[in-house]
Amino acid sequence: MKPDVHPEYGPVVFRDRATGRSFLTRSTATSADAVEWEDGNTYPLIVVDVTAYSHPFWTGNQRVLDTQGRVEKFHRRYGGRTR
């Protein structure tokens, strides 16, 4: 590999904005914010909107979609047309 081409790959803490839960992993992402982790070391902190802790697919809290309203809106818009 060429030297000085690749970004630095190191430990980073990601925090879920919705739940406040955090996890430590490795990434090339950087941040000016830092947080002290459970092991006593300080790592860069990146706050994200969605993780497995808050995503509806992984939590089982699927959103209820208003499908009836969507169908009625479609019929109002396109229902009377014939080719």
Q: What is the distance between the alpha carbons of residues 45 and 22, in angstroms, rounded to a whole number?
A: 9
pLDDT of amino acid 10: 95
- Low-confidence residues of the chain, pLDDT below 70? 1, 56-68, 82-83
- Look at residue 24 and give its three-state secondary structure: strand
pLDDT of amino acid 70: 78
Residue located via tokens 């860069």? 44
Closest of 57, 1, 52, 5 to residue 28, by C-alpha? 5
pLDDT of amino acid 75: 82
- Fill in the amino acid letter for 43: Y
pTM: 0.64
pLDDT of amino acid 65: 58
